[in-house]
């Protein structure tokens, strides 16, 4: 019996940050279908044609920030699990993410943190 790959959207304006996350995710040995976007607008283009299971979203991006994107995703795809992945670890931001039902993963992330989030049951 083959498992369906987990579809995962990485949203981060930093190509290097996306590459680092991809490497960590690939090291987990999970069946993943990775999608990438460099901004909230680019993420919404991806979301217009596919609905990933999970989104890992950076907070600080040009244009709309990660929480604004997460709010839009919650309205259009309420079943999608999301984590805010950011180096901005201010208490108010962590609290806001949790109030919205998002997981909070501080950068730099570890493969263990990512794996724990991906594999937890919703």
Residue 112 — very low, low, confident or very high, per pLDDT cuts 50/70/90?
Answer: very high
Opening angle at CA 74, ends 96 and 7, nearest 5: 110
In this prediction the pTM is 0.94
pLDDT tens for residues 73-99?
999 999 999 999 999 989 999 999 999
Is the domain spanning 6-119 CATH 3.40.50.2300? The answer is yes
| Per-residue confidence (pLDDT) for residue 122, from 0 to 100 | 46
Q: What is the pLDDT of residues 12-31, one digit of tens each?
A: 999 999 999 999 999 999 99
Residue 104: CB partners within 8 Å, gap ≥ 6? 83, 84, 94, 97, 98
In contact, 98 and 13? CB cutoff 8 Å: no
Domain boundaries, the chain: 6-119
């Amino acid at each position: 019996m083959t498992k369906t790959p987990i579809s995962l959207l990485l949203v981060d304006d930093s190509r290097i940050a996306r590459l680092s996350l991809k490497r960590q995710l690939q090291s987990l040995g999970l069946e993943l279908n990775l999608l990438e976007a460099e901004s909230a607008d680019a993420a919404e283009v991806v979301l217009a044609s596919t609905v990933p299971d999970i989104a890992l979203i950076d907070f600080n991006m040009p244009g709309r920030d990660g929480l604004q994107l997460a709010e839009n995703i919650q309205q259009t795809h309420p079943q999608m699990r999301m984590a805010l992945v950011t180096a901005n670890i201010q208490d108010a931001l962590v609290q806001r993410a949790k109030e919205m039902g998002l997981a909070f993963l501080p950068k730099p992330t570890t493969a263990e943190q990512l794996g724990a989030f991906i594999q937890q049951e919703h």
